[in-house]
Each structure stands twice: as C-alpha cells, then as structure tokens.
C-alpha cells in the first residue's frame, strides 16, 4: 500500500492481529498516525471481566453483532456501565500498544452515535482528552439512488442517530470534520468519479458556509486493504463478508490512482490526519 495516500487509519480493538499491527514496520517507516476504531459489535471484549456474564455478549459469548447490538439496545438489554468499561479498556490497550492515546476515536459500524452509547462514548473521550471523532452525516446521501434500499435504510438510521448526537458531543468539547463523506463511495461504489463528485459537492458546501479564505475539513471514510482469508482476520469469530470481499482491494486500487491525486491538487485539497488539526 502507498501509505502517503492513507492519512489516518484506525486500530480496531478485539482484533487477533492487534500485537502485529502495533509494531507493523509500515507504521514505523511512514510515521502513520493511527486512531482508535472502538468495537462493541464484533468479536469479544478486551476487558476480561466482561468476557463472561456481560450484557454485551450473546449466547455464544461474542458481541451481539451489527444489528444484534442495535436490537439489544432498543430492548434495554445493554448495561451502559459495561459499555463504558469496555470503551475505557480499549483506550488503555491502545495506549499500551502504541505508547500514546489516540488523537481520534470513532465506532465500528457507527455504534458510537447510537442512543445511550453516545453519552458514555463522549464521557470516555472527554476523560482521556481525545479531541476528535466521526459524525457520519453525509451531504446528498438521500440522492444516492445506486445504494440498495436495505443499505440505504441502515445509512439513514445512522444519519438520524448522528444528528441526535451533535449536541452531546458538542457539550463534551468533542470535534469532528466539517463534512463527512464515505457512505456513498464505499466498496463497489467507489470510483475516481464518485469520490471526485462527492468531494466537489463537499467543497462547494464548505465555501458556502466558511468565511472567505478560511479552510475547512472533509473526512473521507475508506476501507482499503486485501481480502482476508479465513480463518485469519476478524475479531475472534473469523473475518466478516466485507473483509473477505474484493471490495477492499478495489478501494485500495482506486485510492492510489494518479487521476485522484491530480484532482486533490486541482481543488487545493491537502491530505492530512486528525493529528494535524
């Protein structure tokens, strides 16, 4: 991978490869700043005391899953003190592995903006002095007719949760990029043209809102990589469908295309990490 094109990867907790990732030669060679992609939905807890008899676990002893977590939350089955305990354990493990706290922290499968979770998530960030997160509200999402209806329903739910999270994060002094994009350009929907179109729309919106001459920030969510081959990968239950798919490699190949880099330059877009803000 050409790491000058990837500005702020996240380390996901519960991964079997965490020790390897923390010492990865690419990270050391390129001095890549990494954030924390907190995980409450896939695999098993980092916190040892939560690995048995925890509201965060299903009958098989793993997290409830992407939709299972949301169902359990809606039924009032999740103990928020355990959510907070697990989030803090993941921050502590990140610090142990990297020697520093994450400059940015968000949630795997957008769990950090869910009702109730958003409050304890914000408390943890404030407690550790983590200044930046992700608020996945993508301009123009409703007009993306290439997104399948079932996936669009999920995205619109994430958007609604995100709107309801803004005041909570603001109260705790947490910041995020001025504009977020990435739902409409994920996986098979990623192309140079789709990214350029999303960026151009974001830049126009920034210019309309920002004072003359002031710079704005845009977060582009991406998932570049190589398909996992079971049983390797994943967070304890093996890799999920997306991590095994060709779409990861497709994103990687798209993001390193010279024409995309030329577009950044023509629009005066500077790649940076949250650590630079």
Residue 19 has pLDDT above 60, yes or no: no
Task: Give SS3 for 105.
Answer: strand
Predicted local confidence at residue 3, as pLDDT: 36
- On whether the pTM is more than 0.95, the answer is no
Task: Please name the CATH architecture into which domain 3-276 falls.
Answer: Alpha-Beta Barrel (3.20)
Tokens at 276, concatenated: 């630079």
pLDDT per residue as tens digits for the range 3-15: 345 555 666 655 4
Give the mean model confidence (pLDDT) for residues 134-147.
94
CA distance 134 to 116: 17
Predicted local confidence at residue 29, as pLDDT: 63
CA distance 59 to 39: 18
CB within 8 Å of 206: residues ≥ 6 apart: 178, 179, 216, 218
Predicted local confidence at residue 28, as pLDDT: 59
Residue 180 has pLDDT above 90, yes or no: yes
Continuous H helices in the chain: 18-22, 25-30, 66-74, 80-98, 117-128, 149-163, 166-171, 192-209, 241-244, 247-255, 258-266
Residue 18 has pLDDT above 60, yes or no: no
Residue 210 has pLDDT above 70, yes or no: no
pLDDT range class, residue 206, cuts 50, 70, 90:
confident
Predicted local confidence at residue 26, as pLDDT: 54
- Is residue 253 classed exposed, middle or buried when 0-12, 13-18 and 19+ CB atoms within 10 A define those classes? exposed
Residue 146 has pLDDT above 60, yes or no: yes
pLDDT range class, residue 243, cuts 50, 70, 90:
confident
Tokens at 203, concatenated: 């830049």
Give the mean model confidence (pLDDT) for residues 252-263.
95
Average pLDDT, the chain: 88
CA distance 219 to 136: 9
Give the mean model confidence (pLDDT) for residues 136-140.
94
Q: Which residues of 31-60 are buried (b: 16+ CB within 10 A; e: fewer)?
A: ebbbbbbbbbbbbbbbbeebeeebbbbeee
Task: Tell me which residue of 131, 100, 101, 106 sits closest to 121, measured CA to CA.
Answer: 106
Residue 131 has pLDDT above 90, yes or no: yes
pLDDT range class, residue 25, cuts 50, 70, 90:
low
Task: Tell me which residue of 100, 120, 117 sits closest to 11, measured CA to CA.
Answer: 100
Identify whether the C-beta of residue 179 lies closer than 8 Å to the C-beta of residue 241: no
CA distance 140 to 185: 12
CA distance 235 to 44: 7
Tokens at 17, concatenated: 């490869």
């Amino acid at each position: 991978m050409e790491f000058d094109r990837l500005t702020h990867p996240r380390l996901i907790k519960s991964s079997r490869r965490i020790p390897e990732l923390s010492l990865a030669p690419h990270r050391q060679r390129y001095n890549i700043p990494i954030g924390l992609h907190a995980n409450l939905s896939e695999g098993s807890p980092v916190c040892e005391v939560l690995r048995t008899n925890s509201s965060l676990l299903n009958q098989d002893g793993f997290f409830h899953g992407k939709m299972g977590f949301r169902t359990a939350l809606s039924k009032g089955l999740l103990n928020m003190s355990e959510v907070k305990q697990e989030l803090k354990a993941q921050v502590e493990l990140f610090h142990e592995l990297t020697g520093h706290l994450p400059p940015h922290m968000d949630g795997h499968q957008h769990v950090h903006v869910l009702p109730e979770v958003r409050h304890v998530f914000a408390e943890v960030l404030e407690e550790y002095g983590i200044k930046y997160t992700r608020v996945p509200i993508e301009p123009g999402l409703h007009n993306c007719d290439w997104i399948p209806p079932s996936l669009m329903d999920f995205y619109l739910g994430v958007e609604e949760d995100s709107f309801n999270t803004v005041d909570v994060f603001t109260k705790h002094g947490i910041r995020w990029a001025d504009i977020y994009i990435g739902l409409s350009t994920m996986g098979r929907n990623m192309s140079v043209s789709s990214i350029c179109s999303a960026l151009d729309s974001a830049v126009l919106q920034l210019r309309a809102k920002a004072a003359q001459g002031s710079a704005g920030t845009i977060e582009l969510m991406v998932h570049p990589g190589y398909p996992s081959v079971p049983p390797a990968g994943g967070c304890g239950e093996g890799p999920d469908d997306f991590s095994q798919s060709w779409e990861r490699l497709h994103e990687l190949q798209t993001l390193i295309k010279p024409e995309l880099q030329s577009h950044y330059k023509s629009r005066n877009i500077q790649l940076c990490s949250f650590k630079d803000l």
